[in-house]
Every structure is written in structure tokens, then in C-alpha cells.
Amino acid sequence: MTALDLTTPLGATLALLPECVLSGWTLVVLLYIAWRHETEHHSRMAGGLSLVGVGLSGAALAWLWLSGARPAGVPHMTALDDYRFGAAAIILGIAAGSILLSVRYLTRQRLLAPEYYVLLLLATSGMLFLAGAEDMITLFLGLEVMSVAVYVLAGFDRFRRSSAEAALKYFLIGAFASAFLLYGIALIYGATGETNLTLIGRRLGPALSPMAGLGLALLLIGFMFKVAVVPFHMWAPDVYDGAPTPVTGFMATGVKTAAFIALVRVLVEAFPHAAGVWQPVLGVLAVVTIVIGNVVALAQHSLKRLLAYSSIAHAGYALAGVWAGTTLGAASVLLYLLAYSLATLASFGVVAAIEHVGSRTVLVDDLEGLYSVRPWGALSLSICVLSLLGFPGTFGFIGKWYLISATVAEGQYILPVVLVLGSLVSAGYYLPVIMAMTMKPSRSPESHRQVSFSWAARATVALAVVVTVAFGVWPSGPLAGALASARELGQATVASVLRPGP
């Protein structure tokens, strides 16, 4: 095990090596596109360079992980534990998949602006900082770096008014969310005199002062906006529908993963003694989110809006794991985010291939007869949809089972029942997607002839589908890894409320 002194420049640089490598490589890509940005070849080259940067950041992450890097004393500014490393691996995988899905899509939609990849890398850097934040200042900086880049990505399709509308809505709502979160951080600092999560946890007891309680409330509001939890979800359907499809997949997976990981760390390390304050709030929000997300999704005809409300419901599922406040709960959140990200990113990859040039959205009815023309794409989307549904034999089923186990272990039965019933309701909008592709005839002989998967999209979707099925049948590896990672979470916190999981 390698001990790093995070109070020294060298120690802090090594602890942030994945983020530093990715940020530095982003400047390389920026220099390239300033020099070459006129043709489709230049855009593809920018995408290839971006993929190399993600790979180099992954190599730096692997070095930290395999060397057993840990802080020498109380963690300072950034976390050094397997929970951060696992979340960072998921985020880098999402970034790599999003780049691969974007290369052909940008060409087909005539969006030849290579700065797209710079924005995607910047957003990924912010996600890494956010997921590994051990200090409120680092958390806010990571959140803003991520958010500003994603605001621009949401409005990247300059030829569609709906894309500009999506960016404006996301920017305005995101600004409100950031203001709530920043004000909450200020109040918590005023109550404790600390911004480090571990030190805040040592100063706060079960009975929060009015200032600390209000700070926690504002902090939760900011996070709930970012993960699109009801009633802070109204921006999500319009933004998901209006943004370019690979960006929608990136937002639905990467932003949600980074925000949920940061939320778990904040509650476990900074407010471990105040579980009696935040658990009831999260429980109510989880129930309302699951119910509204699934019920409203039943009425959707646009595939992207359907997946948007599905994403809202899945935020409620993940929030149930956060509610548990245990090692098992933290592990279930990490595992579920991986399962959800695989299925969702691959689903949006298939949708991106189906979209017509310049089209605003894909309707569920547009999928009719897809299996007869593009059986590989229809089968891939069907497996992803079944995983989101939580069908046995898929990774999504394992993720939901783990969430249920975490809540039942704490003597809670309302959340598991709502989670199961919500999954049953979701069959009402997931299964029609499969039926449209496999059981209904094509509208015309030329239907779906324009559907084209690049080799990069094929590889991304195929890998996600294979992993979804493999981990659904043999889940012991990811289960053990998630639990081992969660056991390290908050170890520096004195008298943590986390109890060892089974």
C-alpha cells in the first residue's frame, strides 16, 4: 500500500493523477482542433485523440488503484479509496462509450465542430473531481466544471431550436441548483468552521444546529436537482429530448453517476450522526420519484422522453440505496449505477443509429419492424430495455435486488415494496418498445434502411450488452468488488453510522 501525503504538492498531484492527465490531454485536443477543424476527418481525429486521453486517464487510475494508494492521515481535498476508484472507472467507461457513439453521429447530423470532444473531456474531468471530492470546495468546483460543459453540449445542435431550448432550460435550472448547493456549503462552513467532509463529520452530532440543518437541506436540494429527483425533475424530459442523442446518454449516465457518488460520500462522511434527519427526507423523495417517474413514462410516445422519465424513476431506485446509509447501501448504489449506465448508454447508442438526419426525436412507433431489417440492433435494445426493467438474467435485476437487500437489512419494507411495484409498472412502457420492434410489421419496405451502426457504435453497444448479460448470470465478481469498495468509504470518520455489510 502506498501512503500519499495530500498536504504536499507532489502527494496531491499523484492523488489527482487521473484528473490531471485528462485535463492536460484536453488541452492537447484543444490545440489540435484550433489547428485542424474543417473536415470530417479532422472531427474523427479529434474523437480519436479524445479516446486516447480517456485511456491515459484510465491507466493513471489503474496505477493508483493497483498500488493501493491511500492518504497519510485524514483525506485532504480528494478521496483515496476503492469507492472513488470504482466510480471513476465507471465514469471513464461512460466517457469512452460516449465518444465512440458520437463519431458517426456528428457526421450524419452534419455537426462538424470538433470542440464537442473538448467539452466532453472537460465534463468528464468535472465528474471525476465530483466523484472523488473529499472537501466541499473540490465538490463545488467539480460540479461546476461538469455542469458548464454539459450546458453547452446540450445545445450543441445549432440547427435545431429544441437543442437551444434544452441548453437554456438546463442552464437556468442548473444555476438555481448550484446556488442552493453553494449556499448550503456556506452555512455548513459557518456551523462547523470546516469544509473537509471528515472533519465536518467529527464536529456535527445527531442534533444539528439550525444553521447546519438548513445547510444540509440546501445541499440536498442542489443534489436532487442534479440527479432529477421529483419534484426537482421538470427540466429532465425537455433537456434529454432536445440534446443530441449521444449527449443525452452521457448526461443520463455520467452526470447521475458522479452526483450520486458525491451524495453518498457527503452523507456518509459529513453527516453520519444525522441519519435520523436525512433518511426520512430521502425515503419520501425516493417513493415519490419512483411513482411519478414510472406513471408519467406510461404516457410517452417519444423514445427519448420515455427514457428520460425512466431515468427519473431510476434515480428514485438509487436513492433507496442512499437511504440505507450502510456499507451494503453504498455498495448497492455503486453496483446499480454500473448496471444502469451500461443499459442506458447502449440504449441511446441504438437510438442514435435509428435517428433520421435532422430529425427531432424517435417515436416508439418508429421502431415497428426493426427486427426484420436490423435484428442485431433490435436484439441489443431489447436486452438493454429488459435490464432497465429488472428482468431476471440481466445485470439490472442484480442491481435492483441489491438495492432491495440494502433497505430490507435496515428493517425498511415500504421502499422495497414501492421499488418492486414501480418495476412492475415500468413493464407497461418497456415491453411495448420490444413488441414494436419484434411483433409489428414495418410500415414500408424502405423502413429502417437508413439505420447504420459504425464499427465504434457496434463495439460499444455489443460490449455493454455482453457485460449486462454476463454480470446478470455471474454477478459474484461485481458484487464482491462493490462491497469491498464500500467498506473503505468513510473509514476516517469517527463513530460512523456505517455498519459492516454481510
Question: Which has the closest alpha carbon to 458: 383, 388, 353, 304?
Answer: 353
Query: Residue 52: its pLDDT value, please?
Result: 94
Contact 152, 167 (CB under 8 A): yes
Give the chain's mean pLDDT. 87
Query: Residue 306: its pLDDT value, please?
Result: 92
**Biggest alpha carbon distance in the chain?**
69
Q: For 214-247, what is each residue's pLDDT tens digit?
A: 999 999 999 999 898 988 888 888 888 888 889 9
Q: Which residues of 420-456 are buried (b: 16+ CB within 10 A; e: fewer)?
A: eebbebbeebbebbbebbbebeeeeeebbeebebbeb
- For 273, residues 6+ apart whose C-beta sits below 8 A from its C-beta are 201, 204, 205, 206, 495, 497
Query: Residue 463: its pLDDT value, please?
Result: 93
Q: For 473-496, what is each residue's pLDDT tens digit?
A: 998 889 998 998 888 776 644 333
Report the Cα–Cα distance between both ends of the chain, in Å, rounded.
Answer: 25
What letter would DSSP give residue 160? -
% of the chain residues with pLDDT over 70: 95
| Amino acid symbol at 73 | G
Query: Residue 359: its pLDDT value, please?
Result: 58
Q: For 427-439, what is each residue's pLDDT tens digit?
A: 999 999 999 888 8
pLDDT greater than 70 at residue 360:
no
The backbone torsions φ and ψ at residue 209, rounded to the nearest 5 degrees and listed phi first, read -70, 160
Peptide bond into 231 cis (omega under 30): yes
Question: Which has the closest alpha carbon to 437: 351, 499, 496?
Answer: 351
Query: Residue 395: its pLDDT value, please?
Result: 93
Three cell numbers written together for 52: 486516447
Mean pLDDT, residues 314-326 taken together: 91
Mean pLDDT, residues 46-64 taken together: 93
Query: Residue 501: its pLDDT value, please?
Result: 38
Question: Which has the closest alpha carbon to 28: 99, 114, 141?
Answer: 114
| Best mean pLDDT range from 201-205, 380-384, 490-494 | 380-384
Contact 125, 24 (CB under 8 A): no
Mean pLDDT, residues 431-448 taken together: 79
Three cell numbers written together for 499: 455498519
pLDDT-derived band of residue 357, with 50, 70 and 90 as boundaries?
low
Which one is predicted more confidently, 373 or 271? 271
Query: Residue 490: its pLDDT value, please?
Result: 62
Least confident of 41-55, 236-250, 408-422, 432-446: 432-446
Q: What is the DSSP string of 416-447?
A: HHHHHHHHHHHHHHHHHHHHHHHTS--SSTTT
Least confident of 119-123, 200-204, 292-296, 459-463: 200-204
Least confident of 23-32, 147-156, 212-221, 363-372: 363-372
Q: Which residues of 74-110 are buried (b: 16+ CB within 10 A; e: fewer)?
A: ebbbbbbbbbbbbbbbbbbbbbbbbbbbbbbbbebbe
Mean pLDDT, residues 40-63 taken together: 90
Q: For 150-173, what is each residue's pLDDT tens digit?
A: 999 988 887 778 888 888 888 988
pLDDT greater than 50 at residue 502:
no
Query: Residue 446: its pLDDT value, please?
Result: 63
Helix (H) or strand (E) holding 3: strand 3-4
Question: Which has the closest alpha carbon to 334: 499, 89, 97?
Answer: 89
Contact 215, 206 (CB under 8 A): no
Helix (H, G, I), strand (E, B) or coil at 64: helix
The whole-angstrom separation of Cα 495 and Cα 134 is: 18
Contact 11, 74 (CB under 8 A): no
- For 41, residues 6+ apart whose C-beta sits below 8 A from its C-beta are none
Mean pLDDT, residues 177-181 taken together: 91
Contact 260, 227 (CB under 8 A): yes
